[in-house]
Amino acid sequence: MKTLIALLRHPALALAFRLYLGGLFISAAMYKINYAAEFTTTIASYRMAPWWSVNILALFMPWLELVSGVLLVAGFRVKAAVSVIAGLIVLFTIGIVVNLLRGAAISCGCFHTIDDPISWWTVARDLTWLGMAVHVYFFDRYLQIDRALVRDLKEIGT
């Protein structure tokens, strides 16, 4: 049991989760940026955002995902980036649950807006990603640029 706990707390697992989540959000963002009109339609289909904010969200959200994903992969400002990603996952999950309870047959819009209907499996997947994000927040220590920068600044005496 102690070995399992030690394995779960190991920074290498957090690094793997960090790289996975970063790559995942970069990939999702690139699709949404390239197909902004489809993503706008997907946001509108959730019927949770005011009509006037749908275009703003469709333009802003993918760039937030992209920047956060790049920061995670680069290991820069990891806690801030993973906090943003966790917040987005929570928002996405709430939207999916609300629409599942409404009985809405809509596309997830996570990666490809076509043939990706929401389901309780989508919720389970998102909650798994949220667990990974929490793990990264608390246990990630490997290959972080900010740690190296702080160490270098301490060495030169500033």
Task: Tell me how far apart the alpha carbons of residues 24 and 46 are, in angstroms, rounded to a whole number.
Answer: 22
Task: Tell me how far apart the alpha carbons of residues 61 and 82 are, in angstroms, rounded to a whole number.
Answer: 15
Total number of domains in the chain: 1
Per the DSSP assignment, residues forming a β-bridge with 107 are 117
| Residue at 155 is within a domain | no
Print the domain residue range for 49. Answer: 15-150
Three-state secondary structure call for residue 144: coil
Please report the pLDDT score of residue 149 as a whole number. 67
Structure tokens at 141: 């220590």
- Could you count the other beta carbons within 10 Å of the beta carbon of residue 2? 6
Task: Tell me how far apart the alpha carbons of residues 64 and 58 are, in angstroms, rounded to a whole number.
Answer: 11
| Residue at 1 is within a domain | no
| Residue at 27 is within a domain | yes
| Residue at 156 is within a domain | no
Which among 139, 22, 5, 123 has a CA at the least distance from the CA of 70? 22
| Residue at 10 is within a domain | no
- Could you count the other beta carbons within 10 Å of the beta carbon of residue 151? 9
Residue listed under structure tokens 């697992």 = 13
Torsion of CA 17, 87, 67, 18, to 10 degrees: -10
| Residue at 98 is within a domain | yes
Taking only the tens of pLDDT, the chain with its 158 residues reads 777 777 777 888 889 999 999 999 999 999 999 989 989 998 999 999 999 999 999 999 999 999 999 999 999 899 999 999 999 999 999 999 999 999 888 888 887 655 778 899 999 999 999 999 999 999 887 766 677 666 666 666 65
| Residue at 9 is within a domain | no
pTM of the model: 0.86
